[in-house]
A and B are shown apart, each in its own frame.
Chain A
């Protein structure tokens, strides 16, 4: 997972708003992962066109958080999803 990489959700993985529990979830093969607001903020910017660097910059500006921290946290979060085959990078 490098800043130049462009993450995307592969087929069979999608964001879903759980109206019963009133939170966002990531639905994947035989898994449903509850997302906290930060996780949702990251994943809602994953569109298969935006690089990780651009996603981090956007998050840093939106939430007025240091770019370095945002980059580290988003990379860790997305890498963990990639390890579980819920996310891919081009």
Chain B
């Protein structure tokens, strides 16, 4: 198979983060600071990425501002020719640091929003004062003039705040808002009872987004990740496994998607041991579900197989117990009844407690 180069790289600089959101997309086994790639390692990764065809670099974590060398890394990425996007909670960014990032050439900022008021945001983030700090950081971002995307992460507890989140994006001068319903992997899997939206909420959010898109055309772009447990067709995860995106974890492991480590049996290579382009082309984890040859029925003969690519491999693993199964979100999937029952069951667990993310303090 002719392998096209990736367009985007997600660089997870660190798993350290001042927030402890119960739906954190990092793996449940977090990487300690001692095992993080060095500044020079990342510089090499960015150079290799640009040379192989990556155009967009999403700098994330954890909280990327927890890396003291963040500005240096942004500069290195720009020098390599990459478009640099900082994905941040805002915590750890000062006015001075933002000015330095501006000078280093940072292209765009994506700011996360855990709730539209301090009570909600600070409870979900597990960080008192976080919301007020974030609002201050948003003002600094606006004053410098960075293009801004607001990222509102939605779940049963805060879905009623969606309209207000869209208003806030406009007030902040954001060009885009990402409205992303929590995806159930990693930490969120432990919190499905507290986070799962109801079917009514999912329908209402669809309606709110459709109305706002029409009303705000040309003013605010809305990217939307619906509640997929309530959907009929799966999300086209990663636009197809190993087709457009490549992730590098804090310790240098190279992953086809950020949750790929939940799939047992896959082996991942490390940028410390093997060139990035070789991993992308020939790495066993990348070739495991690339293209369509790995598919079973009903995907194999489905007219949607190059639209949604069988959906999410991690969700197939988690719900159907088989990473080559059809994503159970799909109405044609053998395990669809199971995910529908899970959605109904979890979304009704009104007494479920939240379990916040914790990072083991002992060096691992």
Identify the A interface with B (CB < 8 A).
10-13, 16, 18, 20-21, 25, 27, 29-32, 82-85
Shortest distance in angstroms between A28's beta carbon and chain B's nearest beta carbon? 8
Asked if B5 lies at the interface with its beta carbon under 8 angstroms from chain A, I say: yes
Q: How far is the CB of A16 from chain B (nearest CB, A)?
A: 7
Q: B363 near A: Cβ within 8 Å?
A: no
Verify A20–B53 contact, CB threshold 8 A: yes
Q: Is the CB of A20 within 8 A of B221?
A: no
Q: Could you tell me if B53 and A12 are in contact, using CB atoms closer than 8 angstroms?
A: no
Q: How far is the CA of A47 from the CA of B237 in the complex (A)?
A: 37
Expressed in whole angstroms, the minimum distance between the Cβ of A26 and any Cβ of chain B is: 10
How far apart are the CA atoms of A11 and B142 in the complex, in Å? 12
Query: B121 → chain A, closest Cβ, in Å?
Result: 23
B215 proximal to A (CB < 8 A) = no
Complex CA gap A83/B219 in Å reads 7
Tell which of B8, B56, B145, B217 touches A11, judged by Cβ atoms closer than 8 Å. Answer: B145
Question: In the complex, how many residues of chain B place their beta carbon closer than 8 angstroms to a beta carbon of chain A?
Answer: 27
- Contact: A30 with B56, CB < 8 Å? yes
A-B contact pairs, 24 of them (CB 8 A): A11-B146, A12-B107, A12-B108, A13-B147, A16-B55, A18-B53, A20-B53, A21-B5, A21-B53, A27-B55, A27-B56, A27-B83, A29-B107, A29-B110, A29-B149, A29-B176, A30-B56, A32-B7, A32-B56, A83-B217, A83-B218, A85-B175, A85-B176, A85-B218
Partner of B55, one of A18, A83, A84: A18
- Chain A neighbourhood of B56, CB < 8 A: 27, 30-32
What CA separation (Å) do A31 and B108 show in the bound complex? 11
Residue ID in chain B nearest A30 by CB atoms: B85
> What residue in chain B is nearest A27 (Cβ atoms)?
B83
Interface centre among A10, A20, A21, A25 (most CB of B within 10 A): A20
On whether the beta carbons of A25 and B175 are closer than 8 Å, the reply is no
Question: Which of B7, B52, B85, B223 lies at the interface centre, i.e. has the most chain A CB atoms within 10 A of its CB?
Answer: B7
Per the bound structure, the CA–CA distance linking A31 and B83 in Å amounts to: 10
Query: How long is the Cα–Cα vector from A18 to B52 in the complex, in angstroms?
Result: 10
Contact of B108 among A16, A30, A32 (CB under 8 A): A30
Within 8 A of A (CB), among B147-173: 147, 149
**The 9 A-B residue pairs with the shortest CB-CB distance in the complex, in nearest-first order:** A12-B147, A20-B53, A85-B175, A29-B108, A27-B83, A32-B55, A83-B218, A12-B108, A29-B147
Asked whether, in the complex, the Cβ of A10 is within 8 Å of the Cβ of B147, the reply is yes
Interface 1/0 per residue, B1-37 and A, CB below 8 Å: 0000101100000000000000000000000000000
Task: Tell which of A10, A12, A25, A32 has the most Cβ of chain B within 10 Å.
Answer: A12
* Bound form: Cα–Cα A82–B219 in Å: 9
CA distance A25 to B54 in the complex (A): 12
What residues of A have a CB within 8 angstroms of the CB of B175 in the complex?
Answer: 10, 29, 85
